[in-house]
Amino acid sequence: MGGGWRPASQQEALAWAFLPPPAPDAVPDSAWQPGALALPFQPRSFRDASLYALHWEQASRGYVRRFLPAAWPFTRAYEKLTGRTFPAFKPHPLARQQPVYYLGNPLSFLPSGQPLRWPGFSQALDYELELGAVLARPLRNATPDEALAAIGGFVLVNDWSCRDIQRAEMATGLGPQKSKHFGSSMSAEIVPAGEVLDRIERLQGVVEIDGRVVARCSTAGMLHHWGRTLSFLSQDETLLPGELVATGTLPHGTGMENGHWLRPGQRLHLRLEGVGEVHHEILPAMPTDLHGLPLEPKDVTLGAHAAQASERAA
């Protein structure tokens, strides 16, 4: 049948850890992310976990406060009277039994410094300060110690999220889709694992908006440590060099928790001690017609009138 497959040697697998960037002429001028060539590497895959119970609880409170305002006084009163976390805000029981995660889009990473255009399908763009591990060795049914030894380095990850559509997507049981797959960010360098692992749960993070510190966070308090997490991911599943695994949001590291939501025109700056930083200007959304297609400047007014007419008809 014209040839066949053969197993890759370990040397070949390691050589493919950091995939070469596409040729300059392979990226069209109209691509939304032309700066992708400036990434420190191209992830083979992107698994984003949720390893912080405190983030889970605080983000749930923030969601209710913004999107379910009628329920907010009730949940707040419950917690004040009982001194306990409102039951629906607690992590899913499975998250305590094992690392839980979703598969993100490895091809939509934005390098630090590249402006991000506000997604036209959302009114609630949010950021998530996370720590990401880059694998340098293949793993399969690894012990926690073997899994730790396979980490080649770390990067800061920003998992951009559209909160107003995320909940509805996840209610399908298929996980987040457009709410997250449109983009993520990565710091400019991969810091060798040996420079981070000895203080992996003591790293300090900072969130700045327009030059003002709005939140501080830490890598302390993971539900499952890195060795356990990667070991679990490798159970009867082969992980390859160049795959990226992130912790999920550090507590206080997102607007839904700290209350500092983004607006078009603002500048976001995320830093993680000893690992890296990302910074972006938030550009306004592109006007779209009723089918989500970009409008020419002369058609913007017409598109707005059409949208209003559609709402009245509905």
∠ CA 182-28-270, nearest 5°, is 40
Q: Contact at 8 Å (CB) between 169 and 211?
A: no
In this predicted structure, the answer to whether residue 29 has a pLDDT above a threshold of 50 is no
Q: What value does the mean pLDDT take over residues 61-65?
A: 96
Domains and CATH numbers, the chain: 33-283 (3.90.850.10)
Q: Contact at 8 Å (CB) between 294 and 286?
A: yes
The pLDDT score that the predictor gives to residue 69 is: 95
pLDDT higher at 290 or 204:
204
Count the neighbouring beta carbons within 10 Å of the beta carbon of residue 10: 11
Q: Look at strands 129-135 and 244-246 and give their pairing.
A: antiparallel
The pLDDT score that the predictor gives to residue 135 is: 97
- Radius of gyration of the chain measured on its C-alpha atoms: 21
Q: How far apart are CA 178 and CA 196, in angstroms?
A: 32
pLDDT higher at 22 or 127:
127
The pLDDT score that the predictor gives to residue 173 is: 87
In this predicted structure, the answer to whether residue 88 has a pLDDT above a threshold of 90 is yes
Q: What value does the mean pLDDT take over residues 51-71?
A: 96
Lookup: tokens for 187: 């710091």
Q: State the pLDDT confidence band at 101, using cuts at 50, 70 and 90.
A: very high
pLDDT in tens, 175-217: 899 999 999 999 999 999 999 999 999 999 999 999 999 999 9
The pLDDT score that the predictor gives to residue 6 is: 58
Lookup: tokens for 134: 């880059």
Residue closest to 218 by CA, chosen among 226, 228, 206: 206
pLDDT in tens, 44-56: 999 999 999 999 9
DSSP 47: E
